[in-house]
Each structure stands twice: as C-alpha cells, then as structure tokens.
Amino acid sequence: MKIYEALGINLFFNLRTNIFIYYFVSVLAFLGLFYYIIAIVGVDDFYILAFFLLLFISLSAFFISKLAVDPLVEYTHNLQALSKETLHELNLPISTIVSNTKMLEKTLQDEKSLKRIGRINSACAMLKERYNELEYMINMQSKQDVKEHFSVKELVEKRVAFLQNIYPNMQINTALEPLELYGDAKGLAKVIDNLVDNGVKYSQNSAKLEITLQDTILTIQDFGKGMDEVELLHIFDRYYQSDKNMQGFGIGLNMVKRYCDTNHIALSFHSKVDLGTRVELNFKNK
C-alpha cells in the first residue's frame, strides 16, 4: 500500500510541476508573440489579432489537458491491470486451501481438529467473498456488463447462510417466494449484506431478524433500537452514523441507495424507536 501511495504522490507532484512549467512558458510565449505581432510586425487588425489569440489559447488548452489527463489514464490502466493480475493470483491459493481442507476433513475424527478445519473453511469463505467483491468492483470500474439472470430467493438464501456463520447468535428467519430477475446479482448481494449487517449491529437487545420475499418486495425486519424521524432523514448521507460508537464508516446505506436508484429498485425505510426497523426493496419496476 505504501508503494502505491508513493507512486501516487510522485505522479501528482510531477503532474503539477509539468502543468505549472507549461502554463508559465505558454504565458511568456503568448506575451512575446503578442508583442511581436503588434510592435514589430505592426499588425493592428482586430480580426487577425483575435485569430492568433484564439489559436494560441486553443493549442495551450489542448496541451495542458493532455498533460493533465494522459498520466492519470495510464495510472488508472496500470492499477486495473495490477488488480486483475492480483485477483487472478489470489484464486489459486484460496482454491488450494479449500480443496485440501475438505480432504483433511474426511480423514479427521476428533472434535478439536474438526473445529479447527471448520474455522479454516469459514476464513476461506470470507476470503472468497472479498475476492468476489474485488472482481465485481473491477468489472464495474471497467464498465463491463455485470447483469445476469438470477433467482432472488436463492441469492437471499445464500447470503443468509453465509451471514449466519458470521453471526451465529443471531436468529435469521426467512419466508421467501420465488422471484426471477435480470440484473446485477453481485451488487444486490452486497446490498443484502449491508442491510443484514446494520440490522445485527443495531439489535443489541434482540437476537432476531426476519427476511421475507413476497409480491416482488424483499423485506428485512430487525427488532432493535430503531430510529426517530430526524435520524431517518440522514441515513443515506455519506459517513453518517446514528450511533458513533458503532464500528464502520457510515457508507453502507449510501451504497445501498445508489445501487437501488441505478437499478430502479424502490427502497423504503420504516422505523420506530425501541421497536426496530423495516427495510423494503420493491422489484416491481425491474
């Protein structure tokens, strides 16, 4: 990470220096050319002066924009290439660990060893999730099509199974009807993860969540501390957290809102203090 930061700092320092030098030299050249045309050549025709002025400004603007943009484009492409290569290299060790732990699990019988293997499997599952998220982000930045046909019911079931391992003390009840969509499945998975994670964080006095899928509406209901009307007005603000003692950066619901807006999903929050919060995602317009 420090290498990337150093490269970024060096890049922008050089960029600022080059733009400053080019702008300084351009202004001096412009003043010299202007003096040459008027004082030495003796041209006083307004249209000729305006033409040279416009030509010089256009050339300066072109080269300044080229100086500013080209290094950034190259830097971005290099980062994307590095990310894709790193992502590819990560897949092999994760798959190796998973396949070998499954083989070991078949030969082990004592409870302690099986628990250790179980923890390794859980850690690999979390690494695989991070792998999928990184792949998704790279595809989004590269403007690649991430849409696919998928079952919302199956997607929710998979996310609940994964999150149940992370929050074993939380009871997550589901009642899901079949629903097929064509859209961004990985993005919706991140939305569900964020909403469930919020429900768990703000349910200190309750160990239950309810998730239902009925009539194109996905509902996630917690029975935690809830929010008042003032808090509800700010929940989508970036970096906003109703409870400053909670871990996190306050960007989860902002991301949820952007995803729903982009994918034409109606998002609504209903909350009461000390009674909990109900989140609804309506896929009717999908």
Quickly state the pLDDT bin for 198 (edges 50, 70, 90): confident
> Do 210 and 274 belong to one domain?
yes
Domain boundary among 76, 109, 144: 144
- Most confidently modeled range among 87-101, 141-155, 173-187: 173-187
pLDDT digits (tens, 9 = 90+) for 150-166: 999 999 999 999 888 88
Helix %, strand %, coil % of the chain (to 5): 65, 15, 20
Domain boundary among 144, 159, 187: 144
Give the pLDDT score at 174. 96
> Do 105 and 136 belong to one domain?
yes
Q: Provide the percentage of residues in the chain whose pLDDT is more than 90.
A: 24
pLDDT digits (tens, 9 = 90+) for 254-264: 888 989 998 99
Q: Which domain holds residue 219?
A: 148-282
Confidence check: pLDDT of 249 > 60: no
pTM of the model as a whole: 0.58
> Do 163 and 77 belong to one domain?
no
> Do 167 and 242 belong to one domain?
yes
**What integer best gives the mean pLDDT of the chain?**
79
> Do 50 and 71 belong to one domain?
yes
Q: Tell me phi and psi for residue 271, to 5 degrees.
A: -145, 150
Residue whose entry in the numeric block shows the structure tokens 């609940």: 160
> Do 94 and 163 belong to one domain?
no
> Do 81 and 21 belong to one domain?
yes
How many structural domains are present in the chain? 2
- Collect all residues with Cβ–Cβ distance below 8 Å to 242 and sequence separation of at least 6: 202, 227, 231, 234, 235
Looking at the chain, the number of H-run helices and the number of E-run strands are 7, 7
- Cα 26 to Cα 31: distance, rounded to the nearest angstrom: 9
Give the pLDDT score at 6. 47
Task: State the CB neighbour count (10 A cutoff) for residue 112.
Answer: 8
> Do 131 and 204 belong to one domain?
no
DSSP, collapsed to helix, strand or coil, labels residue 250 as: coil
> Do 139 and 154 belong to one domain?
no
Domain boundary among 115, 144, 173: 144
Beta bridge partners of 282: 217, 266
Q: What is the CATH number of the domain that holds 165?
A: 3.30.565.10
pLDDT digits (tens, 9 = 90+) for 20-40: 777 777 777 777 777 776 666
pLDDT digits (tens, 9 = 90+) for 175-193: 999 999 999 998 899 899 8
Give the pLDDT score at 59. 76
